[in-house]
Chain A
Amino acid sequence: MADRPDTRSQAGSNKPALALHVPEPKYRPGDSVDYSDLDIGEAGGQPRPDEACDPKDMHELAFGLVRVLGEDNKAHGPWDPKLDPETLRAMLGHMALTRAFDERMFRGQRQGKTSFYMKCTGEEATSIASSMALAADDMVFPSYRQQGILIQRGYPLIEMINQIYSNKGDKLKGRQLPIMYSSRDHSFFSISGNLATQTPQAVGWAMASAIKGDSRIAATWVGEGSTAEGDFHSACTFAAVYNAPVILNVVNNQWAISSFSGFAGAERTTFAARALGYGLAGLRVDGNDALACYAAERWAANRARANAGPTLIEFFTYRAEGHSTSDDPTGYRSAQERTEWPLGDPVMRLKNHLIALGEWDEERQDEMDRKAAEKVRETTKQAEANGILGHGLHHPFRTMFEDVFEELPWHLKEQAEQAIKEREIKFPGGLKL
Chain B
Amino acid sequence: MSEAMQKETAVDAPAERRLNMIEAINDALGIMLDRDPDVIVMGEDVGYFGGVFRATAGLQEKFGKTRVFDTPISECGIIGVAVGMGAYGLRPVPEIQFADYIYPGLDQLISEAARLRYRSAGEFIAPMTVRSPFGGGIFGGQTHSQSPEAIFAHVSGLKTVIPATPYDAKGLLISAIEDNDPVIFFEPKRIYNGPFSGYYDKPVEPWKKHKDSIVPEGHYRIPLGKARYVTEGDQLTILAYGTMVHVVESVCRTKGVEADVIDLRTLVPIDIETVENSVKKTGKCLIVHEATRTAGFGAELSALVTERCFYHLEAPVERVTGFDTPYPHSLEWAFFPGPVRIGEAIDKILSE
Q: Does A200 contact B (CB under 8 A)?
A: yes
Q: How many residues of B contact A (CB 8 A)?
A: 45
Q: Known: A201-B83, A203-B81, A410-B269. Is A194-B117 also a contact (CB below 8 A)?
A: no
* B112–A197 CB distance below 8 A: yes
Q: Is the CB of A176 within 8 A of B119?
A: yes
The closest CB in chain B to the CB of A180 belongs to B119
From residue A372, how far is it (CB to closest CB) to chain B in Å?
28
A371 to chain B, nearest CB (A): 31
Q: Quick check: is B277 within 8 A (CB to CB) of the other chain?
A: no
Residue of A176, A183, A194, A403 with most partner-chain B CB within 10 A: A403
Whether A231 contacts B84 in the complex (CB less than 8 A), given A190-B119, A404-B118, comes out as no
- Tell me, in angstroms, the Cα distance from A20 to B225 when the chains sit together: 54
Stretch at the interface among B69-77, B190-198, B230-238, B244-252: B69-77
Which residues from A are CB-within-8-Å of B81? 200-201, 203-204, 207, 238
Q: Which of B107, B124, B179 contacts A190 (CB 8 A)?
A: B124
Question: B66 near A211 (CB under 8 angstroms)?
Answer: yes
Complex contact A197–B88 (CB within 8 A): no
Within 8 Å of chain B (Cβ to Cβ): is A165?
no
Choice from B40, B71, B87, B123 contacting A201 with Cβ under 8 Å: B87
Q: Kindly report which residue of chain B lies nearest to residue A141, judged by CB atoms.
A: B84
In the complex, chain A residues whose CB is within 8 Å of the CB of B84: 141, 200-208, 218
Cβ A183 vs Cβ B80 within 8 A: no
Q: Is the CB of B87 within 8 A of A404?
A: no
When distances are taken between beta carbons in the complex, the residues of chain B under 8 Å from A35 are none
Q: Is A41 an interface residue when CB atoms closer than 8 A count as contact?
A: no
List chain A residues, Cβ under 8 A from B119: 172, 175-176, 180, 182, 190, 192
- Which residues 64-98 of B have a CB within 8 angstroms of A? 66-67, 71-72, 74, 76-77, 80-85, 87-90, 92
Q: Does B203 contact A (CB under 8 A)?
A: no
Q: Which chain A residue lies CB-closest to B158? A: A405
Given that A200-B76, A200-B77 are contacting pairs, would A406 and B180 also be in contact in the complex, using a CB cutoff of 8 Å? yes
Judged by a CB distance under 8 angstroms, whether B256 is at the interface is no
Cβ of B349 within 8 Å of any chain A Cβ, yes or no, is no
Residue among B87, B117, B272 making CB contact with A406, cutoff 8 Å: B117
Residue of A at shortest CB range from B179? A406
**How would residues 220 to 246 of chain B score, 1 for a CB under 8 Å from any chain A CB and 0 otherwise?**
000001000000000000000000000
Choose among B66, B74, B89, B90 the residue that contacts A234 (Cβ–Cβ < 8 A). B74
Q: How many A residues touch B, CB cutoff 8 Å?
A: 46
Contact A171 B121 (CB under 8 A): yes
Q: Find out whether the CB atom of B74 lies under 8 angstroms from the CB atom of A237.
A: yes
Q: Is the pair A201, B72 in contact by a Cβ cutoff of 8 Å?
A: no
Q: For A61, what are the chain B residues with a Cβ–Cβ distance below 8 Å? A: none
| A192, B111: Cβ atoms closer than 8 Å | yes
**Residues of B137-185 whose CB lies within 8 A of A:** 156-157, 159, 179-181
Per-position binary interface string of chain A over residues 160-187, scored 1 when its CB falls under 8 Å from any chain B CB and 0 otherwise: 0000000000011101100010111000
Q: Is A356 an interface residue (CB 8 A)?
A: no
Q: Considering the complex, which residues of chain A in the window 348-373 have a beta carbon less than 8 Å from any beta carbon of chain B?
A: none
A173, A208, A212, A233, most chain B CB atoms within 10 A = A208
B60 interface residue (CB < 8 Å to A): no
A409, B89: Cα distance in complex, Å: 24
A25 within 8 A of B: no
Task: Tell whether, in the assembled complex, residue A238 and residue B87 are in contact, meaning their CB atoms are under 8 Å apart.
Answer: no
Residues of B within 8 A of A411 (CB): 269-270, 272
Residues of A within 8 A of B123 (CB): 171, 182-184, 190
A325 within 8 A of B: no
* A241 within 8 A of partner (CB): yes
State how many angstroms separate the Cβ of B150 from the closest Cβ of chain A: 16
Given A231-B107, A403-B121, the answer on whether A204 and B269 have CB atoms closer than 8 Å is no
What string of 1s and 0s marks CB contacts (under 8 Å) between B241-282 and chain A?
A: 000000000000000000000000000111010000000000
Residue ID in chain A nearest B270 by CB atoms: A411
Could you tell me if B83 and A204 are in contact, using CB atoms closer than 8 angstroms?
yes
User: Which residue of chain A has the shortest Cβ distance to B126 in the bound complex?
Assistant: A201
Task: Tell me the residues in window 224-241 of chain A with beta carbons closer than 8 Å to chain B beta carbons.
Answer: 230-231, 233-235, 237-238, 241
CB neighbours (8 Å) of B125 from chain A are: 406
Residue of A with least CB distance to B225: A409
List chain A residues, Cβ under 8 A from B82: 204
Bound CA span A202–B112, Å: 13
A246 to B108, CA, bound (A): 19
Q: How far is the CB of A81 from chain B (nearest CB, A)?
A: 29
Please provide the chain A residues from 202 to 222 with a CB less than 8 Å away from any CB of chain B in the complex: 202-212, 218
Cβ distance B306 to chain A, nearest Cβ, rounded Å: 16
Whether A204 touches B112, Cβ cut-off 8 Å, given contacts A182-B119, A406-B181, is: no
Among A184, A209, A234, the one with the most B-chain Cβ atoms within 10 Å of its Cβ is A234
Q: A residues touching B (Cβ–Cβ < 8 Å)?
A: 139, 141, 171-173, 175-176, 180, 182-184, 189-190, 192, 194, 197, 199-212, 218, 230-231, 233-235, 237-238, 241, 403-406, 409-411
Q: Name the 7 nearest CB pairs between A and B, nearest first.
A: A204-B84, A200-B80, A204-B81, A234-B77, A409-B269, A208-B88, A201-B84
Q: A230-B76, A234-B72 are in contact. List 14 more A-B contacts (CB 8 A).
A: A141-B84, A190-B119, A197-B80, A201-B87, A202-B84, A204-B80, A204-B85, A208-B88, A210-B66, A218-B84, A231-B80, A234-B74, A234-B80, A241-B72
B residues whose Cβ falls under 8 Å from a Cβ of A:
40, 66-67, 71-72, 74, 76-77, 80-85, 87-90, 92, 104, 107-108, 111-112, 116-125, 156-157, 159, 179-181, 225, 268-270, 272
A-B contact pairs, 7 of them (CB 8 A): A184-B120, A197-B83, A197-B112, A208-B85, A233-B74, A234-B72, A410-B269
